[in-house]
Structure 1
Amino acid sequence: MRVSRKVEHLQHALQIGQSGEHGLSDIRFVHQCLPEQSLSSVSLETYIGELNLSSPIVINAMTGGAAETEEINRELAIAARETGIAMAVGSQMSALRHPEVRSSYTIVREMNPTGIVFGNLGSEATVDQAQQAVEMLQANALQIHLNPMQELIMPEGDRDFRGVLDRIARIVHAVSVPVIVKEVGFGITGEAARRLREIGVSIVDVGGFGGTNFAAIENERREESLAWLNDWGIPTSCSLLDVQKSCAPAHIMASGGIRNALDICKALAIGAGAAGLAGIFLKTLKTQGTSAVIQQINTLHAHIKLIMTGVGAATIEELWRVPFIIGGETAHWCYARGIDITEFAQRK
């Protein structure tokens, strides 16, 4: 059942696409007519938690656990290797329960032996399972994904979410690599981020609304649709602004519908150390092939440097201090949540 579900998820993700309602269009950089910056001096090096990255772009968790997904992970791993970016795999629980699909994950390390790879498990995982997942990939970090609303809509999903924080805390203290906790498209609040950081979670990936819509995907799989939940969640812009109240940028990843260099730069400026992209790479891979994904990543790098030059930021850390204006629904969110939007507009 679980193996076939992974294939169904990929098929529905490609068919449904991304909503684009991530809220980042509400963010507008303050133009700098005197940026005092040179394109050639811009560096894309960054860090999240204890991880040093050559690029703020991460190929975020997508798949694994079925024979049909092994090729996807192989080709994405090649793209990550050729462009020097980090990559996460999808949940490894299926490999722990069904050893015959293990190769759909280990192929990532085989193709990218020296790259930065994130393992991935759900919040139901035990300490032993977490250690096995890290060992399976010789992973540099372990993602624990939170998806209660997806599980509730999923016909065969979990219905009991008690003890999640305690389980994550045990994993944090048992594994030898940084732990990243991420949502899958419904967003994380500042309060949740604070609680996660208090138990030792290294990185919080907001996984905001606006990208792959797992509520809509699960509703496609239901006999009786709960389509009125398809717009459930916190837009990526709002989640980032909420989480930055509790976490420094080096402990935040941005994901949720991010599709281009401007989205990436806005997410970083709000207060993220890296940005996870998934849907756009999957679509490019399936329609144009691996070389197109490599070119896509190289183009994103070039465009990020262009934007950073324009706003006068030579490094990602300097981008964290660039001024921007918050408008639209994101501004309403900030007002309701007690976030002072003038602080971002008046940065120096």
Structure 2
Amino acid sequence: MGADRKLDHIKLAFQSQMNGIAADERFFYEPMLSGHPSDKPEEIPFAGKKLKAPVWVSSMTGGTQLANTINHNLARACGEFGLGMGLGSCRKLLDDDTYFSDFDVRADIGEEQPLYTNLGIAQVEELLDNGQTDKIERLISRLRADGLIVHINPMQEWLQPEGNLIQHPPIETVKRLLEQVEFPVIVKEVGQGFGPESLLRLLKLPLAAVDFGAFGGTNFARIELERNSELNRELYEPFVRVGMSAEQMLNSVNQMVDGGEEIKCRQLIISGGIQNFLDGYYLTGKSKLPAIYAQASAFLKYSQGEYAVLRDYVDAQLKGLRIAKAFLRINENHSE
């Protein structure tokens, strides 16, 4: 076996040259400072519950047979590995149970892991204006969820051919919601992130978390633009190139913390353009507030078929994250 391994090394040495490949300057590689880590899970507080790894499965979808498979696979993985999960938009469940089974995943994720339902700011605004916050409470109760994610998507709604126009500034709607309900609330963007003023206004509220939904990942405004007329696609395309990256948003938050701003929300979910565990490790490690990282499209890719495929992906990602924590130190002077 040893001879075979050495022969492999000889054959692969020429294919493994790093000429022309830049080093990842976000990290210092420190091979002297740790042994290989065990698989012992972490205990990370999150809104009254505990995660076993700093990973969140971002809100996706429901309403088709494939979405049913995706959601139940993802919830099962979150239960097995101790992750948190946000459901896709549950708007259709407010008045119709046709797709309830797509979202009914508490039995898969278990009671210990955080599970949040999800509504858009336009729907929350409408329910508040009509005095119907009881519908949100019933939705959370029926799904046995821990709270609500409010996704902030005015650009998506405006570009969506059948979108809903928002009447009030979303920050005012979120404030009204917090005044009327007792369940935890997370606020997230949908692919363009929050600018510094929006971030600061959100962090001053008693939210369970702010989810970046930064520029660099799936952009729902762009999705809706692709569904638009040819003329509108040409005219409005510049809008989908506007946004804040996850690192830009994190730098803004860190400056707020350093500047002594009064911050009531003490939990970040860093999402948007997180391609792998090194991205997540780097950004959460730089955060001056407690932070976990989230992915959507990567989980989506592996969750559409047999559960074993998704399980292998999650297991490998978490092993990589543990190795990163053992041997990599974050270069605090690096910036994008």
Does residue 147 of the first structure (1) align with residue 144 of the second (2)? no
Deviation at 1:165, TM superposition (A): 2.1
Deviation at 1:220, TM superposition (A): 1.8
Q: Give the aligned partner of residue 203 of structure 2.
A: 197
Q: Is the 8 Å Cα contact of residues 30 and 324 (structure 1) preserved in structure 2?
A: no
1:170 to 171, 176, 194: 176
Deviation at 1:41, TM superposition (A): 8.9
Give 1:303-314 correspondences, 5 Å limit.
303-311=320-328
Give 1:144-293 correspondences, 5 Å limit.
144-224=150-230, 225=233, 226-246=236-256, 250-271=266-287, 273-286=291-304, 289-293=306-310
Structure 1 95/59 Cα, relative in aligned 2: closer, same or farther at 3 Å? same
Q: Is the 8 Å Cα contact of residues 119 and 143 (structure 1) preserved in structure 2?
A: yes
Whole-Å Cα distance in 1 between the matches of residues 311 and 167 of structure 2?
39
Residues paired across the two proteins, number: 293
Amino acid corresponding to residue 72 of structure 2 in structure 1: R
Structure 1 306/194 Cα, relative in aligned 2: closer, same or farther at 3 Å? same
* 1:228-265 Cα deviation digits (max 9, x unpaired): 33322111211222233346895111011212110110
Q: Is the 8 Å Cα contact of residues 208 and 256 (structure 1) preserved in structure 2?
A: yes
Per mean C-alpha deviation after superposition, the further-off stretch among 52-61 and 221-230 is 221-230
Deviation at 1:102, TM superposition (A): 2.0
Amino acid corresponding to residue 276 of structure 1 in structure 2: A
Compute the RMSD of aligned alpha carbons: 2.6
Q: Is the 8 Å Cα contact of residues 160 and 228 (structure 2) preserved in structure 1?
A: yes
Deviation at 1:43, TM superposition (A): 5.5
- What stretches of structure 1 of length at least 5 have no aligned partner? 1-24, 313-321, 331-348
TM-score of the two chains, using structure 1 as the length reference: 0.76
Structure 1 326/222 Cα, relative in aligned 2: closer, same or farther at 3 Å? same
Q: Give the aligned partner of residue 117 of structure 2.
A: 119
Looking at CA atoms only, which structure, 1 or 2, has the larger radius of gyration?
A: 2
Deviation at 1:177, TM superposition (A): 3.0
Q: Is the 8 Å Cα contact of residues 206 and 236 (structure 1) preserved in structure 2?
A: yes
Q: Is the 8 Å Cα contact of residues 149 and 185 (structure 2) preserved in structure 1?
A: yes
Structure 1 246/67 Cα, relative in aligned 2: closer, same or farther at 3 Å? farther
Does residue 324 of the first structure (1) align with residue 324 of the second (2)? no
TM-score of the two chains, using structure 2 as the length reference: 0.78
Q: Which has the higher contact order (CA 8 A, sep 6+)?
A: 1
Amino acid corresponding to residue 87 of structure 2 in structure 1: V
Whole-Å Cα distance in 2 between the matches of residues 32 and 113 of structure 1?
38
Per mean C-alpha deviation after superposition, the further-off stretch among 70-79 and 45-54 is 45-54
Q: Is the 8 Å Cα contact of residues 94 and 136 (structure 2) preserved in structure 1?
A: no
Deviation at 1:40, TM superposition (A): 3.2
Whole-Å Cα distance in 2 between the matches of residues 26 and 120 of structure 1?
36
Q: SS of the residue aligned with 2:333?
A: strand
Structure 1 326/103 Cα, relative in aligned 2: closer, same or farther at 3 Å? same
Deviation at 1:34, TM superposition (A): 4.7
Whole-Å Cα distance in 2 between the matches of residues 105 and 56 of structure 1?
23
Q: Give the aligned partner of residue 9 of structure 2.
A: none
Whole-Å Cα distance in 2 between the matches of residues 147 and 306 of structure 1?
36
Deviation at 1:308, TM superposition (A): 0.5
Deviation at 1:88, TM superposition (A): 1.1
Q: Give the aligned partner of residue 107 of structure 2.
A: 110
Whole-Å Cα distance in 1 between the matches of residues 98 and 40 of structure 2?
45
Q: Is the 8 Å Cα contact of residues 185 and 210 (structure 1) preserved in structure 2?
A: yes
Q: Give the aligned partner of residue 78 of structure 1.
A: 76
Deviation at 1:84, TM superposition (A): 2.0
Per mean C-alpha deviation after superposition, the further-off stretch among 82-91 and 61-70 is 61-70
Does residue 302 of the first structure (1) align with residue 299 of the second (2)? no
Whole-Å Cα distance in 2 between the matches of residues 238 and 199 of structure 1?
21
